[in-house]
Amino acid sequence: MNNLTRSCLYILCFVLLCGLGVRTAQAAPPNDSFAAAAVLTGETGTTTGNNILASAEPGEPAHDTVTDAKRSVWYQWTAPSTGEYYFNTFGSDFDTILAVYTGNAVGTLTSVTENDDYNGPIFIQSRVFFPAETGTTYHIAVDGWEGDQGYLALNWGPASLLPGNDNLASASGISGSAGATTGTNINATPEGGESVHHVN
């Protein structure tokens, strides 16, 4: 084999490798199990992650009333103050199920609240509200409907921070041919499936 032939082979191998790419095995998320729940802190926040290759574990409850747990990941959050809080998965790219529990073992959890599709089947992300008590630790499961998986966003905060007309179902009414009103969009959030409100 002469140098020219050898060089051509090297170039061909390089092109093939670049075209095919190098695939590596992906592991389940680190918070796949209840015991390894990712810890959330603070009154408000956002975290990101995924449930790709996650799985249910023995004794795990169904996170809604229809389908068994399939690709759940876990979080835990200790309430810093007493009051009503929200958690949602707005910004996730798959059909989520969101459930909140109290308890110390996956097989003996007490359900606090759960949601599949917030505000109907058009919006495939999830949102829950619940009264939290100072010092109580809540376990939050994010699952995919019928095993759906992808990248997730989990957002939380006091319900009092949300504008009263944050979502379409709670839109403030206006009337008359002319008038004025005031309001705020501070701490407002997009709904799952919400349309883009600009074209550029």
Over residues 143-160, the pLDDT tens digits come to: 999 999 999 999 999 998
Over residues 97-125, the pLDDT tens digits come to: 999 999 999 999 999 999 998 866 667 89
Relative to beta strand 151-158, strand 83-88 is antiparallel
**pTM for this model (two decimals):** 0.72
Q: Give yes or no for a contact between 138 and 131, defined as CB atoms under 8 angstroms apart.
A: no
User: How many CA atoms lie within 13 Å of 73's alpha carbon, on the beta-carbon side?
Assistant: 24
Second CATH level (architecture) for the domain 34-161: Sandwich (2.60)
User: How many CA atoms lie within 13 Å of 153's alpha carbon, on the beta-carbon side?
Assistant: 13
Average pLDDT, the chain: 83
Q: Flag the least confident range among 10-19, 105-114, 162-171.
A: 10-19
Instruction: Return the pLDDT at 87.
Output: 97
Instruction: Return the pLDDT at 26.
Output: 77
Whole-angstrom distance, CA of residue 6 vs CA of residue 104: 63
Over residues 53-99, the pLDDT tens digits come to: 999 999 999 999 888 999 999 999 999 999 999 999 999 999 999 99
